[in-house]
């Protein structure tokens, strides 16, 4: 059975790991992100994993309405359908510099990068998702539950959970499931590398029951399950993969 997957933010970290993982079960993969070079590197890795897979690279700014509309037109013309949509693209929260205008700018930038990018992409592609059997997986964050010092980022990720529940209600009758994966501290992503001090790293690790950070592949494994036929009765859920942060001592 031919399966087609679109993975956003596929150039690095969780998105790249997810694309490589889905390459074993999908015949067509579309890698979406801003940096074509990073996407091309992942496409080359996929060619080694599954030489028969057809991989497309699409450089798209998913916060831009016109760009998303153009991407949706390409999808409609190039793909018969979408079986799996993994919304992984996101961004960090800029630092507050001070002043109410800066508060407004930081919130708008963060919400657009982490919430609206998902909403725009999903709404633009909904009509192309397979019915029945389509899978929408959104990558959220444990920050939605616990906060992480980046208030706007946490709020954006929390809103994704509500959006997923709404999608479940509207798309469930079409046979499409929608779930959120909320990763905990994942140390090999661009959100972390070079951005976390050793003190902060140790603080985060101390709150994780298993005593370590995640790696992107572990989050990709959860996404793979939710995107699989085996998850046909799982919808409207937030699956938290955080190593036990929910159970502090």
Q: Which residues are catalytic?
A: 153
Closest C-alpha among 70, 66, 68, 115 to residue 89: 115
> What secondary structure, in 3-state letters, does 84-148 show?
EEEECCCCCCCCCCCCHHHHHHHHHHHHHHHHHHHHHHHHHHHHHECCCCCEEEEECCCHHHHCC
Q: How many CB atoms lie within 10 A of CB 225?
A: 15
SS3 label, residue 75:
helix
141 contacts 186 by C-beta, under 8 angstroms: no
SS3 label, residue 218:
helix
Q: Which residue in the block uniquely carries the two structure tokens 């019915």? A: 131
Share of the chain residues as helix, strand and coil, in percent rounded to the nearest 5: 45, 15, 35
SS3 label, residue 5:
strand
């Amino acid at each position: 059975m031919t399966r087609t997957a679109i993975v956003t933010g596929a150039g690095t970290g969780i998105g790249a790991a997810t694309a490589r993982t889905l390459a074993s079960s999908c015949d067509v993969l579309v890698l979406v992100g801003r940096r074509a070079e990073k996407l091309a590197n992942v496409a080359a890795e996929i060619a080694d994993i599954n030489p028969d897979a057809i991989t497309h690279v699409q450089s798209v700014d998913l916060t831009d309405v016109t760009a998303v509309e153009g991407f949706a037109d390409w999808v409609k013309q190039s793909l018969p359908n979408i079986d799996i949509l993994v919304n992984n693209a996101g961004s960090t929260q800029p630092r507050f510099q001070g002043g109410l205008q800066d508060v407004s700018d930081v919130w708008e930038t963060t919400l657009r990068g982490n919430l609206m990018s998902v909403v725009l992409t999903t709404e633009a592609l909904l009509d192309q998702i397979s019915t029945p059997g389509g899978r929408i997986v959104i990558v959220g964050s444990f920050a939605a539950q616990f906060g992480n010092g980046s208030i706007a980022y946490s709020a954006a990720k929390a809103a994704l959970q509500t959006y997923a529940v709404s999608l479940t209600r509207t798309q469930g009758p079409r046979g499409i499931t929608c779930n959120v994966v909320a990763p905990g501290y994942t140390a090999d992503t661009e959100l972390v590398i070079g951005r976390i001090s050793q003190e902060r790293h140790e603080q985060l690790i101390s709150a994780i029951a298993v005593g370590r950070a995640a790696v992107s592949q572990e989050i990709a494994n959860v996404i793979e399950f939710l995107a699989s036929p085996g998850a046909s009765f799982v919808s409207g859920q937030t699956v938290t993969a955080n190593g036990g942060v929910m159970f502090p001592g």
